[in-house]
Structure 1
């Protein structure tokens, strides 16, 4: 089976689609990737790449076709908008030429924000006479409003009309959370094409285990009761709540320490607040490669996932939840809705309301007060649930079967 993957983000950017693509290749799927120039998350084009010009690469047997885009930059709404729109324009302008003469059995879109990246895929699917499957990772326009990126009601209404167009020109809509089903059904013409398809757990343990900085960080984490947050340090993650909880615990004399590993739009604010408040129980080690994370997780007493108190975030399961569960450590979910439900259903840890610093501090204190056997049982439950529900092999087989089914149905309709 020949599949065209369209995604603004791809290796060497660190997204789950990388591992899924390799799993596809292992199953004999001939995959071609149409993507942009790597610049996430820091907003600068990676070394060895240029923002402009088209480029072909081979990544572990997968053909990667790159089109130009405008780098997203840092803390700039207009640059981010240009980044989003430039990929759409480049995909529509260069994609058909770069893929001329090629036939595909299916077109598949991996769509974290922006969902607008589906627009070139719609055109290409029509041109190639292939069915289109869209894996929705963020709800638009809801996420734009929730993050404050767009506040104008007329603009949000316009975005909703574009999203309705996208959904109605897609043959299969895959959702990573059951909470996505209702809002997507409201914008599509046929709710039957919506299928639950969660993000997979990816084992990324690699050479970073031997790196001195990773080993030093893991040793530091293991020295006492530690709570580790890893990933994007952005506004959606409600890290002000974590800082407030840490301050509360420090005042109470708790020895719990927080490690916020990663980088993002609030990295500078976090450093300023930690210094201003004199927080000796919060560390900001910076960003480490994905291969380092399992070693940091294994050293942690608990793993923390948090999101802001917004209706849209109650509908999602943060992708880090899968990795946390697979690490076999207790999880603290400072979330509402689906993400918290998964952690509680798995018996993998504790949940508290999103945005509630007092409740988060209480949850951390409660977990720290449990005996080692109780915490070990939570970790065992977490890992079992991850293998049962989020196995990469099982999910890769599922998606390959869905795309083959779509291709066969499409061929029958065309004859």
Structure 2
């Protein structure tokens, strides 16, 4: 089966789709990737690439990556982001077919975190190549635009909604990363089938062992680690408010590993409020994360309080489950449900700092054996629901079903 993976974000950027491609190859798919010039998250094109360059390269493991021109994000201001998004749509739609001339594909698979409009290029290429288009939806549009405050104009939101509806209805199959997405997506999708396909965990965690060198050593004590993007939707003001409540317990530390739009604000706020139990060591490459998370006493995931966020399953939940560590979930809806169903930790209402502080304190006071049981329960749930190789086989089956429904 020949698969073209279309994704705006790809290696050497750190996104889950990188490993999904490896997993698809492992289950027998012939994969080519169509992507842009790497520039996330710093907003500057990576060394060795040019924003308006195009052509192909071979990944170190042997598959072809075709790159189209892309306007870099810059400092993630509104104009820079819009230019970034639209340039990828135009490049994949106009230049993509030329770069792929003479190549045939059975499936065009779109990895679709925001923005969903990247699927437009896939639909055009699919028509040219007579290939089926499968879109893997990671965010709900236009709801996510409204939830993050990026777009507030009602007319513009309605226009985006019309485009999304068109994309959904022109696709051959829609996959959703959260079961809670299904009703909203199906309502807009018309007769296009919608199926659940979760994000897998990261292969790096399966190969980690304690003998490997770690990039960051955590101090002794009860270390609650948050890893990932430090942005608005992560509700990190709630996290530092909970940390302030926990100041009387000096053994408890909250470690914010990562970077994002709120990094500078968080650092200044921590200093202003004299919150001595929060540490911000910065961002680390994905291959370093197993060694860091393996040292944690507990792992923290948080999201803002919003109906759309409650339907989302942050991809870090799969990562956390794979570590075998207890999890604290300060969020509503689907993500909290998974943690509770797995028996992997404790959940509390989104943006509720006193409740979050109490959940952290509860874990801190539990016997180590109980914490270990929670972690083991999470690992068992991960292996039965999010193991990468199993999900790659399932993804291939989705493709095969689409191809048989000609």
1:187 counterpart SS class: helix
Match of 1:403 in 2: 399
Out of 7-16 and 202-211, give the one that drifted further. 202-211
Partner Cα distance (2:35, 2:400) in 1: 23
Superposed displacement of residue 210, structure 1? 7.9
Match of 1:279 in 2: 275
Contact 2:9 2:36 in 1 (8 A): yes
1:204 counterpart SS class: helix
Match of 1:413 in 2: none
Match of 1:13 in 2: 13
Out of 259-268 and 271-280, give the one that drifted further. 271-280
Q: Give ranges in structure 1 of 5+ residues lacking alignment.
A: 411-415
Superposed displacement of residue 286, structure 1? 0.5
Match of 2:199 in 1: 199
Map 1:32-43 onto structure 2 (within 5 A). Answer: 32-43=32-43
Please report the RMSD computed on the Cα atoms of aligned residues, expressed in angstroms.
1.5
Match of 2:126 in 1: 125
Superposed displacement of residue 27, structure 1? 2.3
Deviations 1:99-158 (A, max 9, x none): 112111111100011001000000011111111100000110011011111011111000
1:37 counterpart SS class: coil
Superposed displacement of residue 90, structure 1? 0.7
Map 1:163-202 onto structure 2 (within 5 A). Answer: 163-190=164-191, 193-202=193-202
Counterpart pick for 1:310 among 306, 320, 324: 306
Contact 1:207 1:291 in 2 (8 A): no
Deviations 1:53-93 (A, max 9, x none): 20211111111000011111224111011100110011111
Partner Cα distance (2:281, 2:323) in 1: 20
Counterpart pick for 2:228 among 231, 247, 271: 231
Partner Cα distance (1:209, 1:347) in 2: 25
Partner Cα distance (2:191, 2:159) in 1: 21
Match of 1:83 in 2: 84
Contact 2:51 2:72 in 1 (8 A): yes
| 1:389 aligns to 2:385 (yes or no) | yes
Superposed displacement of residue 405, structure 1? 2.3
Q: Residues 375, 209 of structure 1: CA spacing in aligned structure 2 closer, same or farther, 3 A cutoff? A: closer
Partner Cα distance (1:164, 1:53) in 2: 32
Q: Give ranges in structure 2 of 5+ residues lacking alignment.
A: none
Taking structure 2 as the reference length, what is the TM-score of the superposition? Answer: 0.97
Partner Cα distance (2:389, 2:80) in 1: 37
Match of 2:95 in 1: 94
Contact 2:310 2:332 in 1 (8 A): yes
Superposed displacement of residue 209, structure 1? 7.9
Counterpart pick for 1:246 among 231, 243, 248: 243
Q: Residues 208, 140 of structure 1: CA spacing in aligned structure 2 closer, same or farther, 3 A cutoff? A: farther
Contact 2:19 2:203 in 1 (8 A): no
Match of 2:29 in 1: 29
Aligned length: 404
Superposed displacement of residue 230, structure 1? 0.3
Taking structure 1 as the reference length, what is the TM-score of the superposition? Answer: 0.95
2:217 counterpart SS class: helix
Q: Residues 188, 86 of structure 1: CA spacing in aligned structure 2 closer, same or farther, 3 A cutoff? A: same
Superposed displacement of residue 208, structure 1? 11
Partner Cα distance (1:289, 1:208) in 2: 17
1:362 counterpart SS class: helix
Superposed displacement of residue 335, structure 1? 0.7
Match of 2:365 in 1: 369
